[in-house]
Amino acid sequence: MSEPTPIPLLAVEDLTVEFRTREGVVTALKSVGLNIAKGETLGVVGESGSGKSVTAYSVMGILDRAGKVSGGSAVFGGFQMIGAREKDLRELRGREASMIFQSPRTALNPIRAVGHQIEDVLRRHTLIRRDALQAKAIELLTQVRISDPEKRYWSYPFELSGGMCQRVMIAIALACEPALLIADEPTTGLDVTTQKATMDLIQELAKARGMATILITHDLGLAAQYCDRIVVMQHGEVIESAATDALFRDPQHAYTKRLIRATPRRDSTLVDLSEAAEGATAADDSKIERLVPQSGVKPTPLLEVRGLVKEFPVLRGGEAAEKGPGFWPFARRGPAPMFRAVDGIEFSIDPGESVGLVGESGCGKSTTSSMIMRLLSQSAGEIIFDGHPISDIPVGKFACHSLRADIQMVFQDPTESLNPRFKAFDAIAEPLRRLGRKMDRATLDGEVRGLAEMVGLPDHLLTRFPHQLSGGQKARVGIARAIALRPKLLVLDEPTSALDVSVQAVVLNLLDRLRRQLGMTYLFVSHDLNVVRLLCDRVIVMNKGRIVESGTADDVLTRPQDDYTKALIAAIPHFDPSGMPDGSVAV
Amino acid sequence: MTATPADLRESRTGEWFRHFRYVMAENPVTLFAFCLFLMLVVFAVFGPAITPYDPLASETGNALQPPSWSHWFGTDNLGRDVLSRVIVATRLDLLIAVTAVAISFAIGSVLGSLAGYYGGWTDRVVGRFTDTIMAFPLFVLAMGIVAALGNTVENIVYATAIINLPFYVRVARAEVNVRRHAGFVAAAKLAGNSDARLLMFHLYPNILPPMMVQVSLNLGWAILNAAGLSFIGLGVRPPTPEWGIMVAEGATYIVSGEWWLALFPGAALMLAVFCFNLLGDGLRDLIDPQRRT
């Protein structure tokens, strides 16, 4: 680790930012100080609401109107950014300091070809001649390794994948060879393999240009892998700042320690996580043996999937399936080209088992789970649940079917999956009212309270609307709702991907405890192998609509057979186990 | 802390009032619009009781008097008090507008929700139906409907309701359509809700806030439309006090200098429309739980 240069490229001191809200003024940043040297990569790590993005936005002068910098300074290459005139800042942004954002698709102009969007920046900040612009834009696209750049120059953002859009964003950010790149959660929402490719690209380009990079992320593993130095933030304050290996070897602050422990690793167990998580109760009872049927005879599977296929018609204009009939019902059209999202998969789940369904976006795992949930009809194949061929029941009829109560689901996004007009109480009570046995108000009241207690949701929160709850609390409401009917099969669709790591640790423990308590069977759909391993006995890996590998969680993770699984495992960012505080046991 | 169901209900009203106070305090324009609205409602409900004169009593000896202390808005060609007539007219105009908007809101939002939720043929039929209505100049269509059905107040209401229908259908369709695949809709299906229940109790309440803005704007248009129809002699007939007729009757006297006959009912009309236009945002804020904290 080289000593930081005496004069930092960017020095932030005592930065304090306040937001005007309905409840009065909220201090978002409390005298934040950090600095970054030329060519250095600095990680800013913290959970949501810790002020990591606000720091970057204040420095760049793009804070939204409710926010105000009330003190401190940010000197960038000798220039005071705080309180600088908008005209000067505009000159600086894009040319000297660039930023890339979390969702590349929304950061790009949807109705302008990406090549032109790169040219816009070049025209604004450089003196490149008009006729050389296109060549320069194509050169930049080549640099960010977009294949066939001449053709992609004319592409619109919707024609590109998320990873490609982020590459275009990087090309735009780097077009003017800035001295500083601020990457705000650049890979959130991207697949692990895409994440690896994107981060490798940023690292490589930064090295080649001697560019300083600030990587803002919630993912400790990612920061560990790509940063020289890490700043940990909590509640708008910098609580720890150290070189990466020192931070992981010897974290000073209690919060840092907790954060490191809460991040699932290749060898961590739920117990490790729960120690880190406040309020987790699983510590002692998670030592109980996993509920595996002890009888020697093979039990009848709870769920059996046979030759399941789902096809979507490929429509021009990139529109998804589900389009009504054409205007002329009698007009004969040739068979529409079909895309097989799920291509003949077979598996079965025994009662009490917990099975992980893993793969990257577009691999068909969500389509599969939707079909099992009977939210989507299959094109071919059979789904047999508890001896009943549920694939024969039309999707529209299943909502009122008696088996509905036995298959429930926890959704990916706790916010989006709660009706904004239903209070927590009503959200949990809804399945009981519809599908549960008849009960009077008081019984229902008691039932809901019992469920809330089971998932650790305080009583007084039941009267709140979803937007008045935190992410973790919303997740608990979602889980309480899903287990309200004591389903036999619970499908978990990335239940923790929208949560902070410490909340994730709590939720994973909760899910594990509930499974043993209620004897449920889990189908855990996720892209995160580390998380899946914590909760599942068996793992099924999907790629391009097919099952490429399946086996016990340990086998698949430590001795992957398929190339795709290997690539998936290799792409997971992690911190070096040898540098772990407890000198972790190697797997 | 345990909350009983009774607590829940009580806190709900308390909470609503707190929220109401907040919305009013936050936006002075909303407060102003709401005060105006309250005034209109008071006039509509107590109109005949608070007028200084009988709005229909003519006094030929006192005709065409300019505004004075005894007749604030002056008197018309038959010696009737303009102020009294303007106040009394509030009830009829508001009644026409509110009924018409209520009808188009009820039918339009249901049709739109169905179209947005089911898509396909439902969407096509409803969509083309509204397109057909939209293809006519709306005021001319309203004139035609009143002329064909008969010259009565009810028919003005129906005509106004029909020409406003497409706006509700379109807003409801769009709002339902974007929420159709939301997670909470899937969750409601898992909880055993049939399509009808899902649409009624899960999706429909969620499209109310944007619909409210439409309702408020529409009330203004509806008043204008009703007044416009009576202005050209359809619907309400003299001597019934109504803003549109009063403007129409007063218009002939403007050239001879008796401006107050047309100006005051016209101003009342403008104020009412203005009030409803301003009220829209406030109504949405009131009805949207996400604005509450």
pLDDT in tens, B84-103: 888 888 888 889 999 999 99
Do the Cβ atoms of A193 and A571 come closer than 8 Å?
A: yes
Residue type, A106: T
Q: Using one digit for the tens of pLDDT, what is the confidence trace for A298-355?
A: 678 889 998 899 888 876 444 443 444 445 555 555 566 788 888 889 999 999 889 9
d(CA A430, CA B193): 9
pLDDT tens per residue across span A561-574? 889 888 888 888 77
The alpha-helical segments, DSSP class H, found in A410-550 are 424-435, 441-454, 471-483, 501-518, 529-535
CA distance A482 to chain B (A): 8
Q: Which two tokens stand for residue A38?
A: 């030329």
Q: If you average pLDDT over residues A238-256, what whole number do you get?
A: 88
Strands (E), B173-292: none
Which phi and psi angles does B36 have, rounded to 5°? -60, -45
Residue B221 CA, distance from chain mean position: 7
User: Can you tell me which residue has the tokens 């250095």?
Assistant: A40
Tell me if residue A363 falls in helix, strand or coil.
coil
Residues of A in contact with B120 (CB under 8 A): 324-325
Farthest CA pair distance, chain A: 78
Q: Is A431 on the interface with B (CB under 8 A)?
A: yes
Confirm or reject contact between B193 and chain A (CB < 8 A).
Answer: yes
User: Is residue B161 assigned to a domain?
Assistant: yes
Distance between B2 CA and the closest CA of chain A, angstroms: 6
* Rounded-to-integer distance, Cα A282 and Cα A271, Å: 7
Does a structural domain hold residue B78? no
Residue B11 has pLDDT above 90, yes or no: no
B11 → chain A, closest CA residue:
A463
Confidence of residue B291 (pLDDT cuts 50, 70, 90): low
CB A559: neighbour CB atoms within 10 A? 10
The beta-carbon neighbor of B191 closest among A421, A435, A468 is A435
Q: Of A396, A468, A478, which has the smallest distance from its Cβ to B195's Cβ? A: A396
**pLDDT for A405-440, tens place per residue?**
899 999 888 888 899 889 999 999 999 988 887 788
Which chain B positions have a beta carbon within 8 Å of A434's beta carbon?
A: 191-193, 197
CA distance A271 to B1: 31
Cα B113 to chain centroid, rounded: 21
HEC readout, A519-576:
CCEEEEEECCHHHHHHHCCEEEEEECCEEEEEEEHHHHHHCCCCHHHHHHHHHCCCCC
Give the 3-state secondary structure of residue A509: helix
Q: What is the pLDDT of residues A441-455, one digit of tens each?
A: 888 999 999 999 888
Query: Which positions in chain A touch B119 (Cβ < 8 Å)?
Result: 322, 324
In a domain, B3, yes or no: no
Contact B187 A419 (CB under 8 A): yes
Give me the residue from B2, B205, B290 closest to A467, CB to CB.
Answer: B290
Asked if the structure places residue B17 within a domain, the reply is no
Q: What pLDDT, in 10s, does the model give residues A464-486?
A: 888 888 888 898 899 999 999 88
B78 vs B98: CA distance, rounded Å: 31
- Chain A, window 302-341: residues with a beta carbon less than 8 angstroms from a chain B beta carbon: 322, 324-325, 327
Cα(A251)–Cα(A373) distance, integer angstroms? 44
Report the DSSP beta bridge partners of residue A410: A492
Q: How far is B189 from chain A (nearest CA, A)?
A: 6
Residue B240 lies in a domain: yes
- pLDDT tens digit sequence for A217-228: 888 888 888 999
Provide, as residue numbers in chain B, all residues whose Cβ is less than 8 Å from the Cβ of A429.
Answer: none
The pTM is what? 0.79
- Classify A410 as helix, strand or coil: strand
Query: Is B34 inside a domain boundary?
Result: no
| Distance (Å, whole) CA A246 – CA B283 | 56
Residue B292 to residue A481, Cβ atoms within 8 A: no
Q: What structural domains does chain A harbor?
A: 303-317+337-579 (3.40.50.300)
Our count of domains for chain B comes to 1
Q: Nearest residue on chain B to A397, judged by CA atoms? A: B194
Query: What is the rounded average pLDDT of the residues A389-394?
Result: 88
CATH number of the domain residue B196 falls in: 1.10.3720.10
Taking 50 as the threshold, does the pLDDT of residue A578 lie above it? no
Residues A406, A303 contacting (CB under 8 angstroms): no
Enumerate residues 6+ apart whose C-beta is below 8 A from A372. A303, A305, A383, A385, A407, A489, A491, A523
Residue span of the structural domain in which B95 resides: 90-293
Contacting residues for B292 by C-beta, under 8 A, at least 6 apart: A465, A468, B15, B19
In this structure, is residue B27 part of a structural domain? no
The answer to whether ipTM exceeds 0.85 is no
Interchain contact, B191 vs A322, CB within 8 Å = no
